[in-house]
Amino acid sequence: MPDAGYLTIGKVVKRLQGQYPDLSISKVRYLEDEGLLNPSRTPSGYRLYSQKDVHRLETILYLQKNRFMPLSVIKQQLDGGEGHVSLVQTPCPNVGEDDEEVLQKFHPIDRMPELLGVPVSFVRQLSEAGVIQLRESPHGRSLVDGKDFQLIRTCGELRHFGIGPKNLRQYVTAANRESAMFEQALVVFAKKGGGVEMERTEENRQQFGQALSEMLALTGQVRDTLIRRQISKTFSEMEE
């Protein structure tokens, strides 16, 4: 098969990363494993993507990012429409991140595949790991807080890299431990503002929220740097 007009998986990722920064080779392979992509292969087994394959991938990424569609629905629409989906008229069964009415409610756990595109079992595993907390309805149904939707989506994305709910337990432990540090820092921040017992006004809440956001961003940079340093050291030792 001639290679003209075909791209390797690395070149496909590089081409689309400008629009989808989180795109990676492992995610493209995951989409292939889920049956959404079927690139050609060379006799030696290397994947080759045609322009049609790239367009299909762009459509998948668009529907995931902007319409919050689960992969099962995307696959059904792409296959049913012979690879074409209208990006203008296609209705989205998922909840948008800015849909406050929905995010302020609790939803039956059995609707998570429809709303978030993740299995019910995955949501239960997140609950067991302490990442989210389920609430029980008067009729005994497990309910998911709409405020946790984005967190669940993020955890779902981590599955592409082999990071599951059990791996996330350490972040729950860390959050519980580090929250005391941030609470103390906010007390210091309040003292600088004129006293710990500050009047609970909207302006004060916004100031505290901004301070917390800045602290999280700064400590996140420290954490990222330390992890990158350790991983770089580990791989350097492996090469040696």
Rounded-to-integer distance, Cα 183 and Cα 50, Å = 53
CA 191 to chain centre: 37
Q: Which of 56-60, 89-93, 191-195 has the highest mean pLDDT?
A: 56-60
The pLDDT of residue 96 is above 60 = no
Higher pLDDT, 178 or 207: 178
Percentage of residues in the chain having pLDDT higher than 70: 84
Distance CA 195, CA 92 (A): 49
**Structural domains in the chain, sorted by start:** 9-80 (1.10.1660.10), 95-179 (1.10.1660.10), 180-239 (no CATH)
Predicted pLDDT at 240: 54
Query: Which residues partner with 106 through β-bridges?
Result: 145
Residues 196-224 have pLDDT tens digits of 455 667 777 788 888 888 888 899 899 89
What integer is the mean pLDDT of 99-112? Answer: 82
Whole-prediction pTM: 0.57
Residue 142 pairs in a beta bridge with 136
Given a cut of 50, whether residue 90 has pLDDT beyond it is: no
Q: What is the average per-residue pLDDT within 72-97?
A: 58
At residue 83, the pLDDT reads: 46
CB 85 within 8 A of CB 59: yes
Please, what is the average pLDDT of the chain? 82
Distance of CA 159 to the CA centre of its chain: 9
- Give pLDDT, residue 4: 56
Average pLDDT estimate for 161-167: 89
Of the candidates 86, 80, 41, the one whose C-alpha atom is nearest the C-alpha of residue 59 is: 86
Which segment, 88-92, 207-211, 228-232, is predicted with the most confidence on average?
228-232
The whole-angstrom separation of Cα 237 and Cα 103 is 47
